[in-house]
């Protein structure tokens, strides 16, 4: 611990020297409420997650434009030393760049040179990865009055001194060691730090919290779903919500976590956030009803968290259609009248334009293929296709559970009037685990990943597709699109240079002309880009920054195999005339060796092990035991790993590497069946690889 502290002091000293030197000439004052409200006029800095409170992710900088973007080159890079997903938006204040990587680690850099000023590691217990559905990611920090705020994977909110990188306060926002997580960037509103949480695939009850930025004291907390009805309701909103639930939903928590989108509107003094899926996923398991306020957009008062309005995008959600996708504020002239609107490209395939004062839907149109609903009625309620909810066997539903659009940030250009977003066209196979029961130690979705019924053959024939879409939110129609070679991709940035920047799963960072989608520039990072680009200026020079690092459920679950380029993540910063380079990265896939470990198992044992693996292990180690590359591919397990297999799975022998104990989830006999299936898959792969030589 002494060495770690001395290291922090050295980095802190470097940070102080930088801030006392080149940083002094360009300091623009403290990041306070006034600065955040005026962020749009501060083109040099990027002070909050979406750049401004509106979260439009549009920059007025135009030194880099459609005429010269071809001269863009790498200025500097930094190796983040992880194979896990990188999803953060860097923030920049007066020449200092702040960002995060996997495991909630925070960095501060000289934004001009790339020199590391300090690094803060909150030391998240690696075994907490068990309670994170979609990788150990973090989407960034918040800045306020000389501090950097980060939410950690194990549910803490930490205030760090912006100059030294040393922690100021640290509060546990979720039940300690509970199955919650935080992956989102905090937001700031009126001196308070707003944070939600993730975990609706587990037995949790969602809520949003506001903490005093100075002291870390809890100011208010707003729940998103009702708790045990035998106990007093926390608010009138929770009492109203309870009437829309049935059965004993609270035993599985209910879900509805606000795990990503959150926007503060200083004009109306309202905070808007989106909520996630119900737990379990399927109403057949949790009880029928609309299940407020899951899959909803909710407006609350910034002072006390009191609900003002809600709009449920997917009532009684049965398809994992969270409403946690980016929320964006704007003022449009619609039918001759000025309207304050909130926009969202929802996971369910509909693009919503909502009156943000009242919560009433102004318009909603599909921006991707949809089969779960045929439209939105005059009351804003989806016209649902009953066949999609029928799970007597299985249902093929589009969009997929990954969504037509997910968490990846979108951007809006006031110059073009267009929203720019990545779109995924895919389908999910929904089936319920036979004889499902709540497991309070693990996931509670009820989704059967081991399903092998008649719908699977059709499912395996479906091809996914992806595109970058420019969408007119007033006319609710496509302006242009670009088909992508890999269906999955990252967030977008729009600039006054008539540019849209966008990263892809294959590692390409591209710049398009915002008006028509013409490709103008491309850089090959070698590793997939899920994070959104951003831009800033130091000493009159414009830079574009983005992090590479492909992860998330698309890598962990690995369906289909090989999607996205997985490798060591990097922070990449570009400028006109930049000449820095990075070493090319190519993932080497070795032939699977024939396992020498012997175990007697029947075909029936292996099949039972397949089912157990699919519903317990595949979400991290890949479907059919084929890893996406960010965690261990179990087909390559060594003899010693096989010999201590039960000690690892039940005893937690490798918890410090992120492999938790599954005691209470599977028995010793079941571990043996899982092991038999892994060995069988390793032998199959070894034989196939040998034959392919």
Which sequence positions are flagged as catalytic?
Answer: 320
Alpha-carbon separation of residue 143 from 150, 156, 162 (angstroms): 9, 17, 8
Tally: H helices and E strands in the chain = 12, 39
Residues counted in the chain = 693
Residue 386: count of CB within 10 angstroms of its CB: 6
Residue 309 burial (C-beta neighbours within 10 Å; 0-12, 13-18, 19+): middle
Query: Nearest Cα to 552, choosing from 87, 65, 12, 35?
Result: 87
Alpha-carbon distance of 448 to 453, in angstroms, equals: 11
Alpha-carbon distance of 561 to 297, in angstroms, equals: 34
Query: Is the dihedral angle over the CA atoms 437, 438, 442, 447 positive or is it negative?
Result: positive
Give one word for 90, left, alpha or beta, with left for phi > 0 and alpha for psi -120 to 50.
Answer: beta
Give 73's contacts (C-beta < 8 A, 6+ positions apart): 574, 575, 576, 577, 578, 579, 580
Give 399's contacts (C-beta < 8 A, 6+ positions apart): 321, 347, 348, 349, 368, 369, 370, 372, 424, 425, 426, 427, 428
Alpha-carbon distance of 243 to 235, in angstroms, equals: 13
Alpha-carbon distance of 134 to 418, in angstroms, equals: 30
């Amino acid at each position: 611990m002494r060495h770690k502290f001395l290291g922090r002091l050295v980095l802190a000293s470097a940070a102080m020297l930088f801030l006392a030197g080149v940083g002094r000439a360009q300091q623009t004052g403290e990041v306070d409420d006034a600065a955040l409200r005026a962020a749009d006029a501060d083109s040099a800095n990027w002070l909050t997650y979406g750049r401004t409170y509106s979260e439009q992710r549009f920059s007025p900088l135009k030194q880099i434009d459609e005429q010269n973007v071809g001269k863009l080159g790498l200025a500097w890079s930094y190796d983040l030393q992880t194979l896990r997903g990188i999803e953060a938006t860097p923030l920049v204040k007066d020449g200092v760049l702040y960002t995060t990587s996997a495991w909630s680690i925070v960095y501060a850099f000289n934004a001009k040179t790339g020199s590391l000023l300090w690094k803060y590691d909150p030391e998240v217990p690696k075994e907490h990865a068990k309670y994170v559905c979609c990788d150990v990611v973090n989407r960034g920090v918040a800045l306020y009055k000389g501090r950097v705020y980060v939410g950690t994977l194990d549910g803490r909110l930490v205030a760090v001194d912006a100059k030294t990188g040393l922690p100021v306060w640290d509060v546990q926002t979720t039940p300690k060691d509970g199955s919650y997580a935080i992956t989102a960037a905090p937001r700031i509103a009126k001196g308070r730090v707003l944070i939600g949480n993730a975990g609706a695939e587990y037995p949790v009850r969602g809520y949003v919290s506001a903490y005093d930025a100075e002291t870390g004291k809890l100011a208010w907390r707003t729940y998103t779903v009702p708790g045990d009805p035998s106990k007093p309701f926390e608010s009138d909103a929770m009492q109203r919500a309870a009437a829309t639930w049935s059965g004993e939903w609270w035993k599985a928590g209910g879900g509805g976590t606000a795990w990503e989108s959150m926007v503060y509107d200083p004009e109306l003094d309202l905070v808007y956030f989106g909520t996630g899926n119900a737990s379990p996923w399927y109403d057949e398991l949790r009880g029928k009803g609309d299940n407020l306020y899951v899959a909803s957009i909710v407006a609350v008062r910034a002072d006390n968290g009191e609900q003002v309005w809600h709009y449920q995008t997917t009532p009684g959600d049965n398809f994992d259609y969270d409403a946690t996708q980016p929320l964006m504020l704007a003022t449009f002239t619609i039918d001759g009248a000025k309207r304050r609107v909130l926009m969202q490209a929802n996971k369910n395939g509909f693009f919503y334009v909502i009156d943000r004062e009242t919560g009433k839907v102004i318009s909603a149109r599909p921006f991707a293929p949809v089969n779960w609903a045929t439209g939105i009625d005059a009351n804003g309620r989806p016209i649902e296709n009953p066949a999609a909810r029928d799970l007597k066997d299985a249902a093929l539903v589009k969009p997929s559970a990954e969504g037509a659009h997910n968490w990846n940030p979108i951007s809006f250009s006031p110059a073009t009037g267009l929203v720019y977003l990545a779109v995924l066209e895919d389908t999910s196979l929904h089936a319920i685990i036979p004889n499902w029961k709540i497991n309070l130690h693990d996931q509670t979705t009820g989704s059967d990943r081991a399903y092998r019924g008649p719908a699977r053959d059709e499912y395996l024939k479906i091809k996914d597709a992806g595109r970058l879409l420019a969408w007119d939110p007033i006319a609710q129609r496509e302006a242009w699109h670009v088909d992508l070679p890999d269906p999955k991709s990252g967030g977008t940035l729009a600039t006054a240079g008539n540019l849209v920047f966008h990263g892809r799963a294959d590692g390409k960072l591209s710049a398009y002309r915002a008006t028509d989608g013409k490709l103008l520039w491309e850089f090959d990072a070698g590793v997939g880009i899920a994070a959104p680009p951003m831009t800033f200026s130091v000493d009159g020079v414009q830079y574009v920054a983005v992090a590479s690092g492909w992860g998330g459920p698309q890598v962990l679950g690995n369906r289909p195999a090989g999607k996205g380029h997985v490798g060591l993540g990097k922070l990449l910063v570009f400028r006109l005339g930049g000449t820095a380079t990075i070493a090319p990265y190519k993932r080497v896939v070795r032939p699977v060796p024939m396992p020498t470990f012997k175990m007697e198992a029947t075909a029936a044992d292996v099949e039972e092990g397949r089912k157990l693996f699919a519903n317990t292990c595949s979400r991290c180690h890949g479907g059919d035991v084929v890893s996406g590359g960010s965690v261990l591919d179990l087909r390559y397990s060594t003899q010693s790993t096989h010999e201590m297999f039960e000690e690892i799975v039940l005893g937690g022998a490798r918890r410090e590497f992120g492999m938790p104990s599954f005691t209470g989830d599977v028995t010793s006999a079941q571990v043996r069946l899982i092991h038999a299936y892994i060995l069988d898959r390793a032998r199959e792969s070894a034989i196939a690889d040998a034959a392919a030589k």
